């Protein structure tokens, strides 16, 4: 169950965590980026000190999401596996890192998966890249901060 409605995703080149935030590190010996994925639950304005943050949801809310380190979203094996996961779990939100591709490819994949909303932090020289997809059944993503290395969004009930 989820009460607050904000998340932040950004790459981090360190191996320490921020507060209680988990670090997703795909390979401990790899030079690939690591990512902080933070969901702050239960308190309004707990993620950021911004006036644009959404207040906590009034009712308990279920959220299903997939986080996937694509290591190249153009790969057929990645797309086939992601399609299997979507068919099995029907996540409301899909978060992909290390896509190595731009927004055009993100929209193509989202359309193939039947996700209507796409947000992207572009890859730099085929390195990095973040995509967020929402199927808009329960949640919409509202950007708060977006840059080359991070996306921070409000989750809004539809």
Q: What is the pLDDT of residue 59?
A: 74
Helices (H), 114-152: none
Q: How far is the C-alpha of 52 from the C-alpha of 38, rounded, in Å?
A: 17
pLDDT higher at 49 or 87: 87
Q: What is the pLDDT of residue 85?
A: 95
Q: Tell whether the model's pLDDT for residue 107 goes beyond 60.
A: yes
Q: How many CB atoms lie within 10 A of CB 15?
A: 9
Max mean pLDDT range (7-16, 29-38, 119-128): 119-128
Q: How many CB atoms lie within 10 A of CB 150?
A: 16
Q: Tell whether the model's pLDDT for residue 27 goes beyond 60.
A: no
69 neighbors 24 (Cβ within 8 angstroms) = yes
Q: pTM (2 decimals)?
A: 0.71
- Per-residue model confidence as pLDDT tens digits over 38-73: 665 444 545 555 555 566 667 777 888 899 988 878
Return the SS3 of 12. Answer: strand
pLDDT higher at 49 or 83: 83
Write down the mean pLDDT value for the chain.
74
CA distance to 48, 143, 150, per residue, from 55 (Å): 12, 15, 22
DSSP label of 13: S
Strands (E), the chain: 6-12, 23-24, 34-40, 65-69, 93-97, 117-121, 130-134, 139-146, 151-157
Q: How far is the C-alpha of 127 from the C-alpha of 147, rounded, in Å?
A: 15
What's the mean pLDDT in 126-136?
A: 87
Take residue 28 and report the two structure tokens written for it: 């401990």
Q: Tell whether the model's pLDDT for residue 102 goes beyond 90.
A: no
Q: What is the pLDDT of residue 149?
A: 72
Give residues with Cβ within 8 angstroms of 136, minimum separation 6. 115, 116, 117, 158
Q: Tell whether the model's pLDDT for residue 140 goes beyond 80.
A: yes
């Amino acid at each position: 169950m989820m009460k607050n409605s904000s998340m932040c995703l950004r790459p981090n080149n360190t191996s320490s965590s921020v507060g209680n935030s988990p670090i997703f590190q795909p390979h401990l010996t790899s030079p690939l980026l690591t990512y902080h994925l933070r969901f702050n639950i239960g308190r309004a304005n707990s993620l950021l000190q911004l006036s644009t943050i959404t207040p906590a949801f009034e009712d308990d809310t279920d959220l299903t999401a997939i986080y996937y380190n694509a290591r190249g979203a153009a790969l057929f094996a990645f797309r086939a596996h992601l399609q299997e996961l979507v068919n099995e779990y029907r996540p409301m939100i899909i978060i992909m890192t290390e896509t190595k591709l731009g927004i055009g490819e993100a929209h193509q994949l989202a359309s193939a998966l039947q996700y209507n909303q796409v947000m992207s932090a572009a890859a730099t020289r085929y390195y990095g890249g973040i995509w967020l997809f929402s199927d808009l059944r329960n949640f919409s993503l509202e950007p708060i901060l977006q840059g080359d290395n991070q996306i921070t969004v409000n989750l809004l009930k539809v």
